[in-house]
């Protein structure tokens, strides 16, 4: 496949898209951990992510008026990463129908 420099450029471009497509945040985070030495499987993962983006490019987020309620969701995977045995946490908040904050951390 390509070299590490091309893989880094692809991941940086995907990082910019995370603001518009928050559903790819976790995948981009996992791929970004292999920017120094990407293997064939990492390139395949990145290509699959690009295919996914191609298929949903016409989709968008819908914001509607109505009752405004704050919702929060949190998920933790304790030492679930088989490579480095570190934990991952994800958190997402919405106000009404609008996503206002999300984070994914290792």
Most confident of 26-35, 53-62, 81-90, 97-106: 26-35
Q: What is the mean pLDDT of the chain?
A: 83
Rounded distance, CA 67 to CA 44, Å? 43
Report whether pLDDT(80) > 70.
no
Burial environment of residue 49 by CB neighbours within 10 A (0 to 12, 13 to 18, 19 or more): buried
- The strand pairing partners of 103, in sequence order, are 91
Report whether pLDDT(98) > 80.
no
Q: What's the length of the chain?
A: 106
Rounded distance, CA 10 to CA 5, Å? 9
Report the pLDDT averaged over residues 2-30.
87
Report the pLDDT averaged over residues 53-80.
78
């Amino acid at each position: 496949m390509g070299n590490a420099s091309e893989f880094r450029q692809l991941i940086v471009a995907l990082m910019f898209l995370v603001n518009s497509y928050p559903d790819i945040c976790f995948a981009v985070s996992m791929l970004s951990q292999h920017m120094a030495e990407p293997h064939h499987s990492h390139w395949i993962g990145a290509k699959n992510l690009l295919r996914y983006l191609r298929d949903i490019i016409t989709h968008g987020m819908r914001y509607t008026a109505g009752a405004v309620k704050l919702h929060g969701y949190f998920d933790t995977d304790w030492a679930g990463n088989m490579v480095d045995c570190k934990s991952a946490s994800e958190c997402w908040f919405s106000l009404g129908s609008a996503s206002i904050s999300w984070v994914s951390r290792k």
